[in-house]
């Protein structure tokens, strides 16, 4: 999708539809200039419909007058100052969400070319941070237009071009163009992440994921390394090898590296990449397996973040470490009661083969810690317990460094991604200590998300570490309460949070 800034007068706009974002309670004020050009027909339509600018609501109007676009789609933002974040971040998320709602509505109307009017004269919306606001518009436009159509035999083409129209009171500047470009890059990486997770498990498996990462690394100037089973034996990664034994597809550990000449810090992003999770011999119920292609969401987010780090030339060294594996049944499959030895030497008794994500993360976290990063963050669809605790709108965060946890929460807020901290008391680790081994991979249902995190903390070598359990938010099965920037299926959660962490 082509995304550009335009500064022409509204009379000269040439687009199939003009989107206008308005705050609740200030609809006519925000549209005063546009209404004059339509000879008052826009205000009449708004008054007749009772449109009040409530969040996600749209109204399509075909006004007469002097504007170049044949239709206007007015998009409600609700109260842009209300929400779960700071005032600034709430406002930016309202912009992002409204842009997505407008683009989605335009796409439903089979519109090809959209103009998005940025009404700088409305102080209720555009108070500060114009660059951040423009980025939010671009992100919303790309995210709202997303559809996964790879396997559709006949599908109507989507929107081809979006022009972000800055009114005549503002100048077209390099900063504005850079903000739009950053929004496009970050949102397209999020869409790549969505595509990976939405891909069927017969097409996206550990080997094909490694091949895709190889191609992406080559095109973006990233260093690429992949270890198959033989190398993983040499690397002493017994835990991840145990998880993958039941599959005919060989386990892979994929390492992507962005390394600028003078790196300020080193970040290690570790992703759980279970491309399909049957539960192993501790078999999942059939209906719980339907969406288990989504158990690689953490790995996919790491891929998207590394692509963006390279595209934006972030000033830090960034390591993306992905444990890619299928958790399957079979004669060679991991059995409950087996003992595995992780890379750092700790022994683990396997009590449940469906608690496999923490096993593969144990090995890749250990390796990442040995690279002396300034901080480690892992992303994983790790526990159903996190989903029960958080619902479907918030990721759980835990770790060993409150300053970095706070930084991740703030980065998520800037991205419009909700993250909430859970406690990580020492009693949670006590529950994960083994009777015949150093650790066991389950410790009971109560506090399951925290117990899993406590287990992971034993493999970070004392480095600053943050764990994001994205099981609640990585994959949306129901449409109830679905925000316009989030599709059904994979959401791409985490990419924009990681990028904000690198660039704040």
CATH of 2-170 given 3.40.50.10140, 3.40.50.300, 3.40.220.10, 3.30.499.10: 3.40.220.10
Stretch 175-186: mean pLDDT, rounded? 92
The answer for 230, left when phi > 0, alpha when psi is -120 to 50, beta otherwise, is alpha
- Contact of 41 with 31, CB cutoff 8 Å: no
pLDDT at 125 over 60: no
pLDDT at residue 169 is higher than 50: no
Q: What is the pLDDT of residue 312?
A: 97
The CATH 3.40.220.10 portion of the chain extends over: 2-170
Structure tokens at 260: 């600028």
Rounded CA separation 66/178 (Å): 31
Average pLDDT over residues 262-274: 97
Q: Which range is least confidently modeled, 25-34, 180-189, 371-380, 493-502?
A: 25-34
Q: Is the pLDDT of residue 123 over 60?
A: no
Give percent of the chain with pLDDT exceeding 90. Answer: 83
Say yes or no to pLDDT of 500 above 60.
yes
pLDDT of 127 above 70: no
- Give me the helix-helix angle, 130-145 and 174-198, nearest 10°: 30
Q: What is the pLDDT of residue 481?
A: 66
Selecting among 358, 387, 463, 496, the annotated active-site residue is 358
**pLDDT tier for residue 227 given thresholds of 50, 70 and 90:** very high
Angle, nearest 10°, between helix axes 495-503 and 297-312? 40
The structure's pTM equals 0.96
Q: What is the pLDDT at residue 171?
A: 52
User: What's the mean pLDDT in 492-498?
Assistant: 98
Range(s) for CATH 3.40.630.10 in the chain?
190-503
- Average pLDDT for residues 400-414, to the nearest whole number? 98
190-503: CATH topology is Aminopeptidase (3.40.630)
Q: Classify the phi-psi angles of 330: left when phi > 0, otherwise alpha if psi is within -120 to 50, otherwise beta.
A: left
Residue 223 annotated as catalytic: no
Based on the residue annotation, tell me whether 358 is a catalytic residue of this protein: yes
Higher pLDDT, 307 or 128: 307
Lowest mean pLDDT among 64-78, 285-299, 337-351: 64-78
Q: Please compute the mean of the pLDDT values over residues 77-99 and round it to a whole number.
A: 91
Average pLDDT, the chain: 93
pLDDT of residue 163: 94
- Given a cut of 90, whether residue 477 has pLDDT beyond it is no
Strands 252-258 and 223-227: antiparallel
More confident residue, 478 or 251: 251
pLDDT for residue 159 is more than 70: yes
Whether 128 shows a pLDDT value over 60: the answer reads no
Instruction: Determine which one of 284, 335, 341, 351 is catalytic.
Output: 284
């Amino acid at each position: 999708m082509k995304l550009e800034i335009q500064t022409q007068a509204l009379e000269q706009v040439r687009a199939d539809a003009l989107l206008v974002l308005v705050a609740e309670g200030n609809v006519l004020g925000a549209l005063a200039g546009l209404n004059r050009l339509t000879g008052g027909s826009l205000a009449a339509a708004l008054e007749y419909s009772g449109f009040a600018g409530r969040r996600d609501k749209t109204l399509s109007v075909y006004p007469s007058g002097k504007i170049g676009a044949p239709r206007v789609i007015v998009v409600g933002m609700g109260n842009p100052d209300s929400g779960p974040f700071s005032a600034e971040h709430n406002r930016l998320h309202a912009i992002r969400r409204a842009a997505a709602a407008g683009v989605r509505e335009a796409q439903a109307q089979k519109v090809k070319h959209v103009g998005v009017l940025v009404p700088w004269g409305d102080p209720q919306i555009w108070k500060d941070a114009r660059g951040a606001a423009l980025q939010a518009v671009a992100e919303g436009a790309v995210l709202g237009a997303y559809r996964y159509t790879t396997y559709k035999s006949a599908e109507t083409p989507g929107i081809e071009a979006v022009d972000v129209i800055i009114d005549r009171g503002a100048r077209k500047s390099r900063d504005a163009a850079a903000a739009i470009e950053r929004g496009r890059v970050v949102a397209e990486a999020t869409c790549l992440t969505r595509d990976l997770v939405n891909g069927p498990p017969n097409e996206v498996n550990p080997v094909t994921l490694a091949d895709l990462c190889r191609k992406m690394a080559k095109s973006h100037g990233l260093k690429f390394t992949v270890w198959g089973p033989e190398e993983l034996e040499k690397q002493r990664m017994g835990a991840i090898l145990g998880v993958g034994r039941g599959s005919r597809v060989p386990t892979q550990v994929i390492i992507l590296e962005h390394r600028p000449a003078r790196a300020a810090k080193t970040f290690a992003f570790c992703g759980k990449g279970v491309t399909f999770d049957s539960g192993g011999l501790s078999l999942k119920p059939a209906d719980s397996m339907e969406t288990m292609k989504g158990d690689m969401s953490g790995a996919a987010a790491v891929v998207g973040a590394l692509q963006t780090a390279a595209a934006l030339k972030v000033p830090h060294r960034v390591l993306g470490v992905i444990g890619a594996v299928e958790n399957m049944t079979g004669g060679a499959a991991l059995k409950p009661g087996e003992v595995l030895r992780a890379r750092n030497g700790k022994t683990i008794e396997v009590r449940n083969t469906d608690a496999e994500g923490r096993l593969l993360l144990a090995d890749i976290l250990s390796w990442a810690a040995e690279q002396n990063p300034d901080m480690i963050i892992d992303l994983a669809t790790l526990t159903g317990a996190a989903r029960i605790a958080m619902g479907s709108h918030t990721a759980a965060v835990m770790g060993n460094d409150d300053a970095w946890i706070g930084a991740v929460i703030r980065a998520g807020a800037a991205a419009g991604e909700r993250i909430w901290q859970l406690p990580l008391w020492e009693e949670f680790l006590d529950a994960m200590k083994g009777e015949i081994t150093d650790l066991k991979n389950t410790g009971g249902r109560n506090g399951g998300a925290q117990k899993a995190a406590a287990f992971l903390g034993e493999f970070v070598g004392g480095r600053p570490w943050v764990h994001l359990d994205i099981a609640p938010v990585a994959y949306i099965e129901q449409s109830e309460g679905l925000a316009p920037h989030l599709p059904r299926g994979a959401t791409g959660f985490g990419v924009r949070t990681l990028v904000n962490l690198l660039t704040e």
